Amino acid sequence: MIAVWYFTKESAFLSSKKKLNEYLTTSGTVTRVSLNYSGFVSTDQYNLTPIGPSAIPLLPEHLVTTGYESSNTSGLFYTIEIPGTREQNGGVQTSAGNEYYIVYYGIEEPFGLSSRLDLIRDLIGHTFTFDGTHSAGPLLM
């Protein structure tokens, strides 16, 4: 299961992070999980072309996430913040605001994070698009 929450207002993003943090810490076990993508090359087990640092040079070497395990589900949360862009168009400067995401990759397996961590790591590696201007980190600080 993959879920993504998108925000354009920082206040809504921070409020949602806080509420989600409160829920997670009271309904399950929360840990800090660092995913290592140094030298990452995935197999073609998902019928995808193998990828690695040369194919996706912007995949971070490490992605720090928040692990969550409960009696119903297990998975990883992380956040992404993308700064707004400024464009100069015919002398008129326009600005698009920041974008914020809460991302969850999970499984419907109680307390099964450790047994599926490699699978979730590979799924994130295949779908994560990172840019040097983006900041990514755990849901819980």
Over the stretch 76-85, which tens digit does the pLDDT of each residue have?
Answer: 999 999 887 6
Write out the E strands in 24-73: 29-36, 62-69
Name the strand (E) or helix (H) holding 137. strand 135-138
Over the stretch 3-39, which tens digit does the pLDDT of each residue have?
Answer: 999 999 999 999 999 999 999 999 999 999 999 887 7
> For position 39, what pLDDT does the model report?
72
- 111 pLDDT band, cuts 50/70/90, is confident
Residues 13, 36 contacting (CB under 8 angstroms): no
- Which pTM was predicted? 0.78
Residues 70, 110 contacting (CB under 8 angstroms): yes
Number of neighbouring beta carbons within 10 Å of residue 108: 10
CA 127 distance to own-chain centroid = 10
Measuring CA to CA, which residue among 68, 75, 63 is closest to residue 34? Answer: 63
